[in-house]
A = this chain, B = another copy of it.
Amino acid sequence: MSDTAQPVMENRDYKTFNPPDRLLLGPGPSPVEKRVLEAMSRPLVGHLDPIFLQCMDDIQELLRYTFETRNRVTIPISGTGSAGMEAALVNVIEPDDEVVVCINGVFGERMLDIVSRAGGKPIAVRAEWGHAIDPNKIEDALKSSSARAVCLVHAETSTGVLQNLAGISDMAHSRDALLVVDAVTSLGGHSVGVDRNGIDVCYSGTQKCLGAPPGLAPVTFSERAIERVRNRRTKVQSWYLDITMVERYWGGERTYHHTAPISMNYALREALLIVHEEGLESRWHRHEMNHRALVEGIEAMGLRMFVAPRERLWSLNAVAVPEGIDDARVRARLLEEDNIEIGGGLGPLRGRIFRIGLMGSGSSSENVSRVLDALRRALD
């Protein structure tokens, strides 16, 4: 026991925090529109207030629209995108379950770690970082195992790779395996098509193409997935993320589980409203067009995209760092001189790529010009 009976640190003079106005073109968080920030600053109501229950209903409906699904269980988890990943996995995986985990970047590795912590037996299917996963390898892994789930990253934020989802659910479902998909960096920027692609569990974050601040993780569970959770032999290892309890609060019963993050839900509702007003197809198209403009500008500067054309995300653009350039210095210059944040590479790609996010309201032709200009000056 310490002898500190008195409060520590009483005399420092703190000031209110005034962050600068950064242009957020990194791997997230993405820019948040004024409307969303304003929504977040509205007065709080209780988490069981009838007025808030209506807000929750709206969010669920707007999330179904955005995920392109009719799944009943479609809600925001009260944590960031990574909590969404954990919620997706720990609910459907039981100890000793074999699980095919596809890995071509940081987030596939994270799935593997979480599957292991849940007591699952991961079967890794790998591709080189910067490349998509070969579906034939997934099929091979399914054939040579009794895997109960396939985990796949739709949009690998660490590399800028988009995964084609076509046909994967058929492979999985024909062997009674669930398809779990990470759509953190695609939802709202690319079509995720949860129902069309037969995805059983899909999760995302609020801070990428949805344009709300980080803090919530939209998830959706198919009836097949919910059935799997209901038939578990063991309790879900996480009380906080147990979807059967969370859905009793979000669904018809309104049973208190935990105090919902009220203000963050206000923000998410407003951000989803903006998605709905723009319309999904227009929004995807905007993300595609600005991505194309960025690529053109990058190549016109003599730089090279890190990912092959057919596998590129529109929301997260990986640009190869030219030989002899110190990427950290370039990024620091953009931040300090132009107030623009872009990201660097992680793990094996450290120092090898810039990651330029064009997500949500950040995906605009003006921002494409601004980041290209700044990059040109910084590389000069």
Contacts and interface: CB of A to CB of B under 8 A. Distances in A.
B259 A29 contact: yes
Contacts of A143: none
Contacts of A45: 19-20, 22, 24, 341
Interface in A39-76: 39-47, 49, 51-52, 55, 58, 61-62, 64-65, 68-70
A258 interface: yes
A238 B256 CA distance: 23
Contact of A196 (B4, B22, B118): B4
Total copies of the chain? 2
A365 interface: no
Given A37-B41, A65-B10, A239-B110, A269 B17 contact: yes
Interface string A321-346: 00000000000000100000100001
Given A20-B51, A58-B17, A70-B2, A81 B258 contact: yes
Interface stretch (A96-104, A146-154, A207-215): A207-215
Greatest chain B CB density within 10 A among A9, A263, A276 is at A263
A29 B44 contact: yes
Interface string A77-104: 0111111001000000000000000000
Contacts of A256: 346
Contact of A117 (B237, B260, B267): B237
Greatest chain B CB density within 10 A among A19, A44, A81, A195 is at A44
A371 interface: no
A156 interface: no
A248 interface: no
A330 to B, nearest CB: 15
A26 interface: yes
Interface of A is mostly: loop
Contact of A264 (B10, B42, B86, B261): B261
A264 to B, nearest CB: 5
Contact of A55 (B17, B49, B173): B17
Interface residues of A, number: 100
A7 B6 CA distance: 59
A308 interface: no
Contacts of A269: 17
Greatest chain B CB density within 10 A among A4, A17, A273 is at A17
A118 B237 contact: yes
B22 A262 contact: no
Given A213-B262, A258-B82, A259-B80, A1 B169 contact: yes
Contacts of A17: 39, 42, 55, 58, 266, 269-270
Interface in A1-21: 1-10, 12, 14, 16-21
A270 to B, nearest CB: 7
A296 interface: no
Nearest to A14: B273
A322 to B, nearest CB: 23
Contacts of A335: 49
A31 interface: yes
A78 B215 contact: yes
A55 to B, nearest CB: 6
Given A19-B42, A41-B41, A256-B346, 4 more contacts: A38-B41, A45-B341, A86-B238, A214-B262
Nearest 5 CB-CB pairings of A with B: A215-B261, A2-B195, A1-B198, A82-B258, A41-B41
